[in-house]
Structure 1
Amino acid sequence: MNLTSPDSTVSATPAKRGDAPRQPAQRPNRQDPGAAPAPAPGVASVSRLSAQLTEYLTPSELKKVREAYRFSDEKHLGQMRKSGEPYISHPIAVAEICAEWKLDAQAIMAALLHDVMEDQDVAKDELIERFGAPVASLVDGLSKLDKIEFQSQVEMQAENFRKMLLAMARDVRVILIKLADRLHNMRTLGHMDPSKRSRIARETMDVYVPIAHRLGLNNLYRELQDLSFSHLYPVRYKTLGKAVKAARGNRREVVSKILDAVRTTLAESGIQAEVYGREKTLFGIYRKMRNKHLSFSQVLDVYGFRIVVDSFANCYVALGTLHALYKPMPGKFKDYIAIPKLNGYQSLHTTLIGPYGTPVEFQIRTDEMHRVAESGVAAHWLYKTDEGALTDLQQRTHAWLQSLLDIQKQTGDSAEFLEHVKVDLFPDSVYVFTPKSRIISLPRGATALDFAYTIHTDIGDHATEGIINHEHVPLRTELRNGDIVEIVSSSTARPSPTWLGFVRTGKARSAIRHYLRTINRAESIELGRELLSHALEALNLSPELPAPLAERLLNESSARSLEELHADIGVGKRMASLVARHIFGLAENAAGSAPAVDEHGELIPNKIDPVVLNGTEGAAVQLAQCCLPIPGDSMFGHFRRDQGLTVHAADCELAKRQRMKEPDRWIEVVWAPETKRRFDCRIKVLVHNEKGALARVAAELGESDANIVYVAMDDDKDQVMQQLRFTVQVEDRIHLARLMRNVRAIPSVARILRERS
């Protein structure tokens, strides 16, 4: 194949460029990462790409790719990279990377065209007409949202990320082309300004590296990590590189000795295998040094070995052979063949004590496992399944992509979507079992409630407790590898805002927030209306907004209705004081006059009436678990995004520190003269360690009309004194004082106090 047929132009050939009577596109040159020192990607790059594609594409597909190349070459004519190279060199390089993964013709065409919509104002309809809807959809999914105005750079990045991931959920080729695009930009980042290099490298490390790992693209994952590391910490990168280079000579003898011994032993056992050594990436070494606080000389396993055998059974035979050759280190064996990683990775991992007492890691896998380990989802195409059955890797990837769509449906904005998805991109996993032995993979640190939401959103919404290994446990219990997990649910149970404090998965977090937004909307609207009224009164404005003013407010705040605005205030997404000041500005412009100001030009606020609580506010108002305020306590309320109003006692140490950081998010709160329920309160009782002390204290609490909801005591039974901790439900401070006075009268009680964590 030759992409540059006689009637096409070659952007890297100056003579042909000079002959063409064309003018550069009337757009500012895109200042993209320029190429690092490398051969000029002219005819040579095109020829390489042609050779790659000829291996697996049909003649008709090659013709379409050639047309896409010509179109992209023409549109980018005159556009240059910062290195001075023609811009077309970048799409060609991206297409080369995609061709290495054997992507189909549509993906190669999209790689060549991926910047024409964004840079050259080519309409999607034109791409549909020339190259078909699938190619146009891929290019559209790769294009940024530069034409839309956003309130901040962070919001723009979040929305671009959401668009890309949703396009990926519909067609995984979108993210593969994007990863190829990012890889080439990272390879050629040297001509960017240092500040931009650092920003792009950080974004790559935080977003694209985890996605590459999640999709099983391990070669890409490792290269992106090292490239990001080199730009984020260039001095550390160079220093560590020199240390590894120096260590190669010192360890060459050990590596050679291990290779010879392993190859000989496997051959004697009749196992056909490829054995080769591999060096850990610089970032992998750096991460181990940082996490374990080691010096380079203390990192012994800089080298590892990979063994690729011809069959599944021989993986385990080779493992036994290695364990007979070198002693295995206890606790350093992992079977990722029986239980693959989330991204489909399969191998046996074992660490052995090699010559001279050096720890050596071995990975054992088959040819097919090796192909999946290096290429991940690129090794099995979701859209190329001619048969009905999906492979295990395809099912895992499909389930994750579907979860992105589920999170999108339940998410309020782009920043929140990004937050949820980032949680699921962490590579560490824990594997648990359902009672029917189905394996469920969850992020490390996941709880029984995360398990419930993974099974189904309805099960999570109505969960009451978990059963782990046949023992009843709270929903917040953290799961461990090998746990057998069941969920107990009730039709009357509902999600609580406190659940957000311990769930780990993005799906659980988004489902809980979605429920709180929808089910408690009426409460949030009422709370938001009350808070906005107070804020307006503080600025000497009427809470009743004239229709023209309300209409302008909605237009400028992007809210669909006043109810939606009030709901956003009630759940903490908007601040009542800021909305009130916005209304003040609109009113001032409309009336030509302003509320009263002092001699310094500052507004003279009214005394703001505090928010009144009667105990029936529901999920829109939460009592802080750190201090558990009860009626009679002085209080302040704190707005947290999408969690409504959290009420703290005025003397809460945590609240004092937070008020110093975000004073605008705090308001005064008071109790109503009569409250409608009882409230949790923690007390600590110090008693003499004598028979029946706990029973006497518990009986007195019951006699004092307090409901005990939790009790604990010291584990050490040999102490002279014992601490008893209770959580009791009381009416108010007067009830608590009476209860404490009654308990203090017990002879075995030395001290009683109210406890704040």
Structure 2
Amino acid sequence: MSQADADALLQEVSAYLKPEDVAQVRAALEFSRAAHAGQLRQSGAPYVTHPIAVARILTPLHLDVHAINAALLHDVVEDTPVTLEQIAEPFGATVAELVEGLSKIDKLEFETQEDAQAENFRKMLLAMARDVRVILIKLADRLHNARTLDSLPAEKSARIARETMDIYAPIANRLGLNNIYQELQDLSFKYLHPNRYAVLSKALKVARGNRREVVSKILEAISKRLESHQIRAEVKGREKHLYGIYQKMQAKSLAFAQVLDIYGFRILVDDVASCYLALGALHGLYKPFPGKFKDYIAIPKANGYQSLHTTLFGPFGTPIEVQIRTHEMNKLAESGVASHWLYKASDAQISDLQQKTHQWLQGLLGSLAQSGDSAEFLEHLKIDLFPDEVYVFSPKGKIFALPRGATTVDFAYSVHTDIGNRCVAAKVNDELVPLRTELRNGDRVEIVTAVQMHPNPAWLGYVATSKARAEIRHSLRTLHLNESARLGERLLAQALTAMGLRLQDMDEAHWEKLLRETGVKSRQDIYADIGLGRRLNMVVAKQLARQGDTISSDALGNAVVTIQGTEGMAVEFAKCCRPIPGDPIIGIIKSGQGLVVHTHDCPTLRHGRGNEQWLDVVWDKNITRLFEVSLKLVVANQRGVLAKVAAAIADADSNIENVNFSSEGEYTATYFTLQVSNRLHLATIMRNLRKIPEVVRITRLKNSGS
């Protein structure tokens, strides 16, 4: 069988490659056959049948000789003793580089399968950024593997199918390779849900016979209508792919019999003007469904796809989905970024698509470079490959493509990282909206920024793009590190002061010796480690000053930290006791968390010190920020009492953050979370509340669980 496939491959490449290139393909074919001699696939077939099949998947795209040769040799380095140098010598450096980009990282050891998978994807994407042929070959490789999953155990075939559905099929879609995309989805569906696949396949075959007459009537009616309007067109009926039908059934909770539009129609015309003329003619033949028209010609998809989509009321009430496009658009829709090799007619269109693909890859690699671990990397990758898109406009009319579910924060980061980091508000269609507002097709979005703003961790709960998620996490990590470093510097200075020394007197020689001994890169990292509780300030002070092996406990006790309230994430105010300025406080350094401030009488402190470092802390005299405090009010159930309470709080210049109620017979327990500046401010609020006759009892809740 492999010989027949090999002959077919040579015949296919002969149709578009030069004779000397065909000779190179023949040489690569023999090289691959010799290298894989004796190796078998799981199915029992000679291994060389796989690289031949991969190369044959690429020939309809008219990929060049380098790509075809790399497809034939893509497993040689990984599965045989052959080296890249042995490939580069006869076939050139380009083929060797493509093969290297396709080889898995199997020489390194990883703790988990997820880590190994993440690193292989990272390597593949880097190679893909250099040469898009890497991913075209990889997709062909994955497609042939998906076609032959029958020979693998069910568990392994399901794992490969899930990876294909989550990552490879969306990549094919993103690159505009429509046929490969749909086949990858159908094959993945087959192995992820074998029973559903079998039932749907059988139902589709039956429906195909039953609806043949209706389809032919519609085809004839459309053709006659276009002809009567002097529109030269090619009309085709097409069956929706199986997974597409399944998705529709899932999304709309339909039985198969209720999915009437399993057939669609494609109309190919000569030019763009004819697309819109054909649309008008069809809307005169069958009534269009309101809201079911999409113009991807005026606003192309990110993968370069262009077409008019409309849904019509057909005969017997059958919905008809119609796509109208030019022949060039159809070529681009089928081959996507591979059109560079297949078609030379629309160079401007193709170069624009290549530029968009390159920008997408660079953006993806930029966000992936900031991923903290393999799980985060794969999460970013899957988010970025999310296929459904909405198209929104900047105030100047620039179009931005974002995934469905994207918010104004996603838009801000897609404009520029600095815009995202500093956004404070957003306007959609000239109306102020919350930052979590989801965007819809055609929205005009304007972002309001402020210099002093930083990303909010809450944004991670509703952003939909990998770029936004990666930039927010990166900024928060950097911000946390900087704030921790500032806190660590203060802690170290105070520890040295307790020893009778000054931080500014520590010269460069002291620091260089300390950095060498600890293996840390910079002072900033030492400060950050102290601020995050990874190193004890007194131990570092001792190492820095070289004061011997012991430090008196008195010296440690003299180190008092002043809390300014502006330390950001490096200092946390304990939720268990909610300290506010004026409360006696104590600090605990928790490893990896930084300094946590509690009240002296916090119940949590009764459990003992454990291995944590305790510090004496005091409030700065000039704190201006607000702190949250919880109050419980027991009030008589009378009309208007809540309004009186709210007015009393407002009169004391406080904001209500949250309020809850709990009925207790004739009385109601009301729980408020208020913003106060200090204990004096809180006392003023409580004094105002006690003047209200209906207020029976006021209690400050120091335990958030109360």
Fold in common (TM above 0.5): yes
1:404 to 364, 370, 383: 364
| 1:348 counterpart residue number | 308
Partners of 2:518 and 2:205 in 1: how far apart? 64
| 1:269 counterpart residue number | 229
Contact 2:62 2:341 in 1 (8 A): no
CA 1:468–1:633 in structure 2 vs 1: closer, same or farther (change >3 Å)? farther
CA 1:693–1:397 in structure 2 vs 1: closer, same or farther (change >3 Å)? same
CA 1:386–1:277 in structure 2 vs 1: closer, same or farther (change >3 Å)? closer
Deviations 1:488-545 (A, max 9, x none): 2233222333332332211122122222333432444699999xxxxxxxxxxxxxxx
Contact 1:461 1:495 in 2 (8 A): yes
| Structure 1 residue 241 corresponds to structure 2 residue 201 | yes
1:511 to 468, 471, 482: 471
1:618 to 564, 568, 592: 568
- Report the 3-state secondary structure (helix = DSSP H, G, I; strand = E; otherwise coil) of the residue aligned with 1:404: helix
Deviations 1:115-153 (A, max 9, x none): 111111433333333322222111111110111011111
| 1:151 counterpart residue number | 111
CA 1:75–1:232 in structure 2 vs 1: closer, same or farther (change >3 Å)? same
Contact 1:442 1:451 in 2 (8 A): yes
1:376 to 330, 336, 339: 336
| 1:318 counterpart residue number | 278
| 1:4 counterpart residue number | none
- Report the 3-state secondary structure (helix = DSSP H, G, I; strand = E; otherwise coil) of the residue aligned with 1:288: helix
Greater displacement, 298-307 / 89-98:
298-307
Query: How does the TM-score come out when normalised to structure 2?
Result: 0.78
Contact 1:630 1:733 in 2 (8 A): no
1:68 to 24, 28, 34: 28
| Structure 1 residue 704 corresponds to structure 2 residue 652 | yes
Partners of 2:170 and 2:530 in 1: how far apart? 34
- Report the 3-state secondary structure (helix = DSSP H, G, I; strand = E; otherwise coil) of the residue aligned with 1:742: helix
Contact 1:524 1:644 in 2 (8 A): no
1:364 to 324, 348, 361: 324
1:200 to 160, 167, 178: 160
Greater displacement, 290-299 / 156-165:
290-299
Contact 2:339 2:350 in 1 (8 A): no
- Report the 3-state secondary structure (helix = DSSP H, G, I; strand = E; otherwise coil) of the residue aligned with 1:514: helix
Partners of 2:697 and 2:257 in 1: how far apart? 55
Q: How does 1:279-294 map to 2 (within 5 A)?
A: 279-294=239-254
Q: How far 1:705 moved relative to its partner?
A: 4.3
| Structure 1 residue 119 corresponds to structure 2 residue 67 | no
CA 1:679–1:242 in structure 2 vs 1: closer, same or farther (change >3 Å)? same
Contact 1:528 1:566 in 2 (8 A): yes
Greater displacement, 291-300 / 99-108:
291-300
| 1:130 counterpart residue number | 90
| 1:742 counterpart residue number | 688
Q: How far 1:246 moved relative to its partner?
A: 1.7
- Report the 3-state secondary structure (helix = DSSP H, G, I; strand = E; otherwise coil) of the residue aligned with 2:293: strand
Q: How far 1:197 moved relative to its partner?
A: 0.7
Q: How far 1:309 moved relative to its partner?
A: 1.6
Q: How far 1:157 moved relative to its partner?
A: 0.6
CA 1:339–1:520 in structure 2 vs 1: closer, same or farther (change >3 Å)? same
Deviations 1:567-624 (A, max 9, x none): 69988xxx98xx99xxxxxxxxxxxxxxxxxxxxxxxxxxxxxx99984442346679
Max Rg structure: 2
How big is the alpha-carbon RMSD for the aligned residues of Structure 1 and Structure 2?
4.6
Partners of 1:751 and 1:298 in 2: how far apart? 62
Partners of 1:100 and 1:473 in 2: how far apart? 49
Unaligned 5+ residue runs, structure 1?
Answer: 1-39, 531-549, 581-610, 651-666, 714-723
Contact 1:202 1:228 in 2 (8 A): yes
Greater displacement, 390-399 / 139-148:
390-399
**Percent of aligned pairs with the same amino acid:** 56
2:627 to 673, 679, 688: 679
Partners of 2:597 and 2:283 in 1: how far apart? 59
Partners of 1:376 and 1:90 in 2: how far apart? 24
Q: How does 1:432-581 map to 2 (within 5 A)?
A: 432-524=392-484
| Structure 1 residue 307 corresponds to structure 2 residue 267 | yes
- Residue type at the aligned position of 1:739: I
2:676 to 730, 738, 747: 730
Contact 2:64 2:341 in 1 (8 A): no
2:182 to 211, 222, 229: 222
Q: How far 1:181 moved relative to its partner?
A: 0.1
Contact 2:587 2:616 in 1 (8 A): no
| 2:663 counterpart residue number | none
| Structure 1 residue 98 corresponds to structure 2 residue 58 | yes
Contact 1:95 1:111 in 2 (8 A): yes
Deviations 1:153-209 (A, max 9, x none): 111111111111121112111111000000000011111111111111111111111
- Residue type at the aligned position of 1:507: K
Contact 1:162 1:414 in 2 (8 A): no
| 1:57 counterpart residue number | 17
Q: How far 1:457 moved relative to its partner?
A: 1.6
- Residue type at the aligned position of 2:21: E
Partners of 2:105 and 2:142 in 1: how far apart? 17
Q: How far 1:110 moved relative to its partner?
A: 0.9
CA 1:712–1:118 in structure 2 vs 1: closer, same or farther (change >3 Å)? same
CA 1:109–1:133 in structure 2 vs 1: closer, same or farther (change >3 Å)? same
2:145 to 165, 182, 185: 185
Greater displacement, 500-509 / 152-161:
500-509
Partners of 1:470 and 1:430 in 2: how far apart? 19
| Structure 1 residue 231 corresponds to structure 2 residue 179 | no
Q: How far 1:341 moved relative to its partner?
A: 1.5
| 2:238 counterpart residue number | 278
Partners of 1:320 and 1:304 in 2: how far apart? 18
Deviations 1:304-329 (A, max 9, x none): 11111222111111111111111111
Deviations 1:455-497 (A, max 9, x none): 1222222223223222334433332221222222233222333
- Report the 3-state secondary structure (helix = DSSP H, G, I; strand = E; otherwise coil) of the residue aligned with 2:292: strand
Partners of 2:659 and 2:418 in 1: how far apart? 33
Contact 2:368 2:381 in 1 (8 A): no
1:254 to 203, 210, 214: 214
- Report the 3-state secondary structure (helix = DSSP H, G, I; strand = E; otherwise coil) of the residue aligned with 1:69: helix
Contact 1:114 1:139 in 2 (8 A): yes
- Residue type at the aligned position of 2:262: V
Contact 1:142 1:178 in 2 (8 A): yes
- Report the 3-state secondary structure (helix = DSSP H, G, I; strand = E; otherwise coil) of the residue aligned with 1:125: helix
Q: How far 1:63 moved relative to its partner?
A: 2.7
CA 1:271–1:323 in structure 2 vs 1: closer, same or farther (change >3 Å)? same
Greater displacement, 387-396 / 440-449:
387-396
Contact 1:463 1:490 in 2 (8 A): yes
Partners of 1:524 and 1:385 in 2: how far apart? 58
Contact 1:289 1:299 in 2 (8 A): yes
Partners of 1:705 and 1:228 in 2: how far apart? 61
CA 1:262–1:519 in structure 2 vs 1: closer, same or farther (change >3 Å)? same
| 2:39 counterpart residue number | 79
Deviations 1:293-312 (A, max 9, x none): 22112222122111112221
- Report the 3-state secondary structure (helix = DSSP H, G, I; strand = E; otherwise coil) of the residue aligned with 2:127: helix
Q: How does 1:588-627 map to 2 (within 5 A)?
A: 615-620=565-570
Unaligned 5+ residue runs, structure 2?
Answer: 491-514, 537-560, 600-611, 661-669
Greater displacement, 243-252 / 89-98:
243-252
| 1:160 counterpart residue number | 120
Contact 1:162 1:418 in 2 (8 A): no
Q: How far 1:671 moved relative to its partner?
A: 11
| 1:339 counterpart residue number | 299
